[in-house]
């Protein structure tokens, strides 16, 4: 058991932020719907810069529309922009779903988004007929940029999907709803793989795997507009009320899970992000509790492979090393626990989010740690940089945003999470589940070897 | 030395003999009939009547009228445009020793810090992201106090040369008085606190953001420098050495570092660059220069015109992309200084002779491989016209060009530069671009990161010509890089493997 010290940022200014505003998360979740398009009700920068962010990380297109609010809308309201935006988007793209994502400006102007959406639908029925108009589901996702962060925006979007689309339950579909959080395509595929080994299937809320990692096959690409294959179908979301249960891997997906539990009696389990042995075990136990299915031999073998590589690598290279971890709070929570399982010390755990869940989890992690843990909620990269200058660590784990500070400090950076734009393929390689944890331990150990052992290597050292 | 007797502007003021000697007569453009587009295809504009006027095909030599432009985007489009704040930020962000503080919700800073590939030879303060992180209570009670505290805090931590404070949509709506907070904190900190009124929604055209950024520099920075405060500006006080500002060059991928040595070879001192790889103090002394040369005429013509009025500094429109245009730009500068410094012309002639021969021999390999290939260009700013000649110099034909934020004057330049049968598109959304690409199947698309992966999915090679590119394309050496980069994209073996034929082989068809 080690000390857990909680440190506040202690200044109003934010330098090198670790979070962005809600709309980004909502756009991400909406792109995980099959033929789903986000329509941002705000200025043109609100979609453009987010598209850049997705392009950089996934190296994939990201189609996000905008209502292009301008000065007149700020004075007279965004009514005509939103109505004609929905109509134009429906007619040209024929999407299955439009996620109307609000922003700071549209929230402050106080647009009656629901009312405008109804009006747009009514006009569409008149113009293209009821059948065509009904094909496009409209979902209002309220994401004021000045409240909380993009993780909450993701949670709000998933909540809006089930709230708008889930239908009265009929009979059980023997599936599980999974809210995976702001993770990579590789992670979602790994979750599906694990559920497959246990003999069940998931309704992913939403499935961002194929849309953000899609094949280049020009001859089979739809004529246009370009919709990637995959994504969760609208019917699947409608069916989510018939599932055996909902597991939200990150705590910020709790709203949707709790909604389905309250309204349709679909049991909810919140957390943990299945990174490392114990968290993945807990995920498997949760699946068992909800479905009655047991962990298969293959899955236990995968667990064994993870334990095997930990046994091979941890004592020699990793034990006792100090680590700083930053980024997505759910990811940091999982990583910190895994780091302890490897005998390393999560000396600094830092996130841009101020949530009690994060602090509570870190208190638990402190009990499993070999050394003191400094918890930095609601923080930024500048705060971490200052602490690392004072007390250097052996290794930093986080996204690409820390590349300059770790370069200046001379500490190796193991890249995980979003965004990673200065390395290739990180969106494809899972870090969740037993297999993902093997990838992580390899990635961490290779970085440690390169930095601390290459000089003294000889042939027989294993 | 102010040369007001001659009216200088663009290349048209060059002597015709100079212009002719630079024409690259060896270039034969492909004359294949199917390369000529005659009409705007119906299928592209089928569903939105209002978009029809935004596309046109150049019919003949006299065709000068471009597409309808400078209008609000259709709501609900996947527009390639950005906001006014974005426009202001890209102009000012390359100032390396300044802090760029975004007064707004966290996202406006989060999504834009360190996204510009503007390189620095010294400071890297400009690469950090600073935000006041406005929260709900600030929206209700106002964010001025928070901004005030933040500026004082920032100055204490970093002691920067200046703090640029950007206004965002929210700030415009809640009505924070940026100007007075900046003035007050400026008095307390003795630091230059510069407000930029760049509320995102102020215009559909981010060019307004460029202009607002220029206004911030004109009103609050240029002309405030004291001579001799730093080494670089001290030089300008020496008599008889001609000086100039390089305006509208942002040192993306180090472009400036290819241009500046040429100027220095001509024994001209670069007083300041606005804003690539610049320091605040240099820009504060920009008013001491003899001449402004404007590279990005989209963002910075305004600044040059205003400086001409305010400080009587003439300006020249130059273009350092492409061999021919780089040479013309150097001649233009030599012409300007002809009366007082006739020796510059000799240096320029020598530079042009050696460099052009060198570049031509180095690119001949690429030219052979690229001649006859067709290019679609969709970019921001001045690149929509300045790239066209550059491609022609590689033997390639631009079949389509366009820009998100073009003004009528921009399209007149584009129409004047493109050849007949070129499609010109204004504010194309992603669907129109995709449809055009599918229809005309160009051999290369040149654009920014948002279009890159869409082009790839359609099986078309792509070349970055934006903030994201990693090699310098400017001046003579840059043109070799450019040729290399274009060849890398077009000649990559992967594009063969995407074809139906190869997919058929897998299935044993």
Beta pairing partners, A39: A65, A100
* A140 pLDDT more than 50: yes
Tokens of B206: 């981010």
Q: What is the pLDDT of residues A39-54, one digit of tens each?
A: 999 999 999 999 999 9
pLDDT of res. B411: 85
Identify which has the larger pLDDT, B231 or A341. A341
- CATH code of B84-203, in short, is 3.40.50.1980
* A76 pLDDT more than 80: yes
Nearest to A284 by CA among A209, A194, A151: A194
Interface contact B113-A16, CB threshold 8 A = yes
Nearest CA in chain A to B154: A13
Rounded to the nearest integer, the mean pLDDT of chain A is 94
How many angstroms separate the CA of residue A337 from the nearest CA in chain B?
A: 28
Task: List the domain boundaries for chain B.
Answer: 24-74+365-497, 84-203, 231-357
Instruction: Please state whether the peptide bond connecting residue B489 to the residue before it is cis, i.e. omega within 30 degrees of 0.
Output: no
How many angstroms separate the CA of residue A35 from the nearest CA in chain B?
A: 14
pLDDT of res. B52: 78
d(CA A392, CA A400) in angstroms, rounded, equals 19
Mutate to test the interface with B, among A9, A30, A36, A43 (most CBs of B within 10 A): A43
Interface contact A59-B453, CB threshold 8 A = yes
Tokens of B176: 């924070």
Of B203, B435, B459, the CB nearest to A224: B435
Report yes or no: B324 and B23 within 8 Å, Cβ to Cβ.
Answer: yes
Nearest to B166 by CA among B213, B224, B123: B213
d(CA A293, CA A267) in angstroms, rounded, equals 16
Q: What is the pLDDT of residues A361-375, one digit of tens each?
A: 999 999 999 999 999
Tokens of A216: 């280049």
Question: At A41, is the secondary structure helix, strand, or coil?
Answer: strand
Pairing of strands A65-66, A395-398: unpaired
d(CA B222, CA B272) in angstroms, rounded, equals 11
Q: What is the pLDDT of residues A226-274, one digit of tens each?
A: 788 899 999 999 999 999 999 999 999 999 999 999 999 999 999 899 9
Residue B367 touches partner A, C-beta closer than 8 Å: no
How many angstroms separate the CA of residue B450 from the nearest CA in chain A?
A: 6
Interface contact A24-B81, CB threshold 8 A = no
* A287 pLDDT more than 80: yes
Q: What is the 3-state secondary structure (H, E, C) of B178-207?
A: HHHHHHHHHHHHCCEEEEECCCHHHCCCCH
Residues 6+ apart with CB under 8 A from A376: A7, A9, A348, A349, A350, A351, A383, A384, A387
Number of alpha carbons in the 13 Å side-chain half-sphere of residue B191: 25
d(CA B471, CA A354) in angstroms, rounded, equals 41
pLDDT of res. B2: 43
The residue behind tokens 């709501």 is B75
Mutate to test the interface with B, among A35, A70, A401 (most CBs of B within 10 A): A70
Of A15, A24, A73, the CB nearest to B107: A24
Map out the domains of chain A with their CATH numbers.
4-16+298-456 (3.40.50.1980), 22-148 (3.40.50.1980), 175-296 (3.40.50.1980)
Nearest CA in chain B to A19: B110
Percentage above 70 pLDDT, chain A: 97
Which residues 59-98 in chain B show a CB within 8 A of chain A? 72-86
How many angstroms separate the CA of residue A289 from the nearest CA in chain B?
A: 39
d(CA B238, CA A249) in angstroms, rounded, equals 67
Interface contact B133-A14, CB threshold 8 A = yes
d(CA B418, CA B407) in angstroms, rounded, equals 17
Residue A171 touches partner B, C-beta closer than 8 Å: no
Residue B267 has φ and ψ, to the nearest 5°, of 60, 35
Q: Provide mean pLDDT across the span A65-76.
A: 87
Interface contact B76-A85, CB threshold 8 A = yes
Percentage above 90 pLDDT, chain A: 89
Nearest CA in chain B to A85: B76
The CATH superfamily label for domain B231-357 reads Nitrogenase molybdenum iron protein domain (3.40.50.1980)
pLDDT of res. B440: 85
Report yes or no: B192 and B161 within 8 Å, Cβ to Cβ.
Answer: yes
Tokens of B90: 């890209």
d(CA A25, CA A256) in angstroms, rounded, equals 14
* A447 pLDDT more than 90: yes
Domain B24-74+365-497 in CATH 3.40.50.1980? The answer is yes
- The tens-digit pLDDT sequence of chain B (509 residues) is 444 444 456 777 777 777 666 554 444 444 555 556 667 766 665 556 677 788 888 887 777 778 888 888 888 888 888 899 999 999 999 999 999 999 999 999 999 998 888 999 999 999 999 999 999 999 999 999 999 999 999 999 999 999 999 999 999 999 999 999 999 999 999 999 999 999 998 888 888 999 999 999 999 999 998 765 554 444 445 567 899 999 999 999 999 999 999 999 999 999 999 999 999 999 999 999 999 999 988 889 999 999 999 999 999 999 999 898 999 999 999 999 999 999 999 999 999 999 999 999 999 999 999 999 999 998 876 777 788 888 999 999 999 888 887 888 888 888 888 888 888 888 888 888 888 888 888 999 998 888 899 899 888 999 988 777 888 999 999 999 999 999 999 999 998 888 766 666 666 65
Burial of B503 (0-12, 13-18, 19+ CB in 10 A): middle
How many angstroms separate the CA of residue B470 from the nearest CA in chain A?
A: 12
| Degrees to nearest 5, angle at CA A50 with A357 and A221 | 115
* A379 pLDDT more than 80: yes
Rounded to the nearest integer, the mean pLDDT of chain B is 86
* A307 pLDDT more than 80: yes
Tokens of B165: 């404070």
Of B107, B129, B434, the CB nearest to A15: B129
Which residues 279-318 in chain A show a CB within 8 A of chain B? none
Interface contact A145-B136, CB threshold 8 A = no
pLDDT of res. B502: 67
How many angstroms separate the CA of residue B235 from the nearest CA in chain A?
A: 33
Interface contact A12-B153, CB threshold 8 A = yes
Q: What is the 3-state secondary structure (H, E, C) of A192-248?
A: HHHHHHHCCEEEECCCCCCCCCCCCCCCCCCCCCCCCCCCECHHHHHHHHHCCEEEE
């Amino acid at each position: 058991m080690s000390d857990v010290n909680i440190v506040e940022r202690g200044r109003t200014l934010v330098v090198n932020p670790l979070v962005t505003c809600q709309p980004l998360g909502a756009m991400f979740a909406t792109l995980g719907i099959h033929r789903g398009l986000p329509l941002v009700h705000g200025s043109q920068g609100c979609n453009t810069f987010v598209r850049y962010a997705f392009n950089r990380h996934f190296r994939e297109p990201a189609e996000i529309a905008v209502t292009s609010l301008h000065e007149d809308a700020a004075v007279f309201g965004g009514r005509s922009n939103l109505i004609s935006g929905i109509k134009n988007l429906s007619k040209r793209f024929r999407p299955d779903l439009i996620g109307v994502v609000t922003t700071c400006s549209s929230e402050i102007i106080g647009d009656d988004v629901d009312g405008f959406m109804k009006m747009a639908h009514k006009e569409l029925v008149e113009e293209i007929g009821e059948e065509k108009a009904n094909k496009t589901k409209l979902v209002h996702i309220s994401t004021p940029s000045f409240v909380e962060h993009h993780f909450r925006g993701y949670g709000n979007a998933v909540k809006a999907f089930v709230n708008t689309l889930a239908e009265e339950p009929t009979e059980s579909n023997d599936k599980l709803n999974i809210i995976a959080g702001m993770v990579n395509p590789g992670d979602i595929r790994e979750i599906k793989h694990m559920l497959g080994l246990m003999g069940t299937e998931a309704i992913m809320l939403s499935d961002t795997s194929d849309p953000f990692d899609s094949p280049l096959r020009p001859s089979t690409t739809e004529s246009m507009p370009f919709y990637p294959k995959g994504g969760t179908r609208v019917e699947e979301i409608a069916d989510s009320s018939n599932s055996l249960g909902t597991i939200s891997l990150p705590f910020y997906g709790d709203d949707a899970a709790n909604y389905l539990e309250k309204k349709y009696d679909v049991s909810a389990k919140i957390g943990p992000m299945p990174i490392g042995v114990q968290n993945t075990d807990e995920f498997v136990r949760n699946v068992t509790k909800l479905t009655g299915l047991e962990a298969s031999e293959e899955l236990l073998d995968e667990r064994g492979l993870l334990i095997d590589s930990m046994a091979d690598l941890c004592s020699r290279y990793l034990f006792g090393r100090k680590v700083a971890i930053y980024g997505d709070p759910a990811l940091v929570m999982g990583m910190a626990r895994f780091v302890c399982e490897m005998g390393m010390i999560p000396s600094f755990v830092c996130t841009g989010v101020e949530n009690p869940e994060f602090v509570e989890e870190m208190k638990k992690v402190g009990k499993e740690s070999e050394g003191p843990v400094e918890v930095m909620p609601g923080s930024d990269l500048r705060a971490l940089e200052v602490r690392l200058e004072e007390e250097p660590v052996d290794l930093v784990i986080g996204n690409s945003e820390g590349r300059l500070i770790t370069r200046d400090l001379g500490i190796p950076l193991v890249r995980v999470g979003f965004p990673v734009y200065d390395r290739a393929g990180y969106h494809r390689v899972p870090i969740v589940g037993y297999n993902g944890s093997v990838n992580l331990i390899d990635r961490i150990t290779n970085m440690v070897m390169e930095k601390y052992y290459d000089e003294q290597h000889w042939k027989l050292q294993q | 030395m102010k040369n007001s007797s001659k009216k200088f502007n663009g290349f048209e003021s060059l002597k015709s003999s100079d212009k002719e000697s630079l024409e690259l007569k060896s270039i034969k453009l492909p004359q294949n009939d199917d390369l000529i587009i005659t009409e705007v295809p119906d299928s592209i504009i089928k569903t939105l009547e209002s978009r029809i006027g935004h596309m046109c095909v150049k019919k003949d030599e006299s065709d000068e009228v471009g597409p309808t432009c400078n209008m609000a985007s259709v709501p609900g489009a996947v527009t390639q445009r950005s906001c006014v704040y974005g426009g202001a930020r890209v102009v000012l962000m390359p100032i390396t020793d300044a802090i760029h503080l975004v007064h707004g919700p966290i996202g406006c800073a989060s999504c834009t810090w360190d996204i510009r590939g503007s390189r620095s030879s010294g400071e890297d303060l400009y690469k950090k992201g600073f935000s006041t992180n406005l929260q709900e209570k600030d929206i209700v009670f106002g964010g001025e106090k928070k901004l005030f505290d933040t500026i004082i805090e920032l100055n204490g931590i970093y002691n920067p040369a200046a703090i640029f404070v950007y206004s965002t949509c929210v700030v415009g709506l809640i009505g924070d008085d940026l100007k007075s907070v900046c003035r007050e904190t400026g008095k307390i900190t003795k630091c230059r606190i510069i407000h930029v009124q760049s509320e995102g929604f102020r215009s559909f055209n981010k060019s307004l953001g460029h202009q607002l950024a220029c206004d911030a520099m004109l009103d609050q920075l240029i002309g405030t420098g004291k001579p001799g405060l730093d080494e670089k500006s001290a030089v300008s006080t020496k008599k008889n050495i001609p000086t100039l500002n390089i305006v509208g060059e942002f040192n993306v991928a180090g472009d400036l570092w290819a241009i500046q040595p040429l100027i220095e070879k001509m024994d001209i001192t670069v007083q300041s660059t606005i804003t690539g790889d610049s320091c605040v103090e240099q820009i504060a002394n920009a008013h001491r220069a003899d001449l402004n040369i404007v590279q990005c005429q989209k963002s910075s013509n305004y600044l040059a015109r205003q400086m001409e009025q305010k400080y009587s500094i003439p300006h020249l429109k130059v273009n350092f992309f492409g061999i021919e245009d780089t040479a013309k730009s150097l001649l233009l500068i030599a012409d300007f200084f002809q009366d007082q410094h006739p020796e510059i012309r000799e240096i320029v002639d020598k530079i042009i002779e050696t460099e052009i021969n060198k570049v031509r021999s180095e690119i001949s390999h690429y030219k052979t491989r690229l001649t006859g290939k067709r290019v679609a260009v969709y970019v921001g700013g001045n690149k929509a016209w300045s790239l066209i000649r550059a491609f022609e110099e590689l033997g390639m034909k631009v079949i389509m060009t366009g820009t998100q934020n073009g003004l009528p004057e921009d399209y007149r330049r584009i129409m004047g530069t493109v050849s007949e049968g070129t499609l010109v598109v204004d504010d194309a959304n992603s669907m129109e671009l995709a449809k055009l690409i599918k229809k005309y199947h160009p051999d290369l698309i040149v654009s920014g990161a948002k279009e890159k992966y869409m082009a790839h999915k359609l099986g078309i090679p792509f070349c970055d010509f934006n903030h994201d590119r990693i090699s310098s394309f400017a001046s003579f050496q840059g043109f070799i890089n450019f040729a290399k980069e274009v060849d890398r994209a077009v000649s990559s073996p992967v594009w063969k493997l995407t074809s139906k034929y190869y997919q058929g082989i897998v299935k044993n068809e």
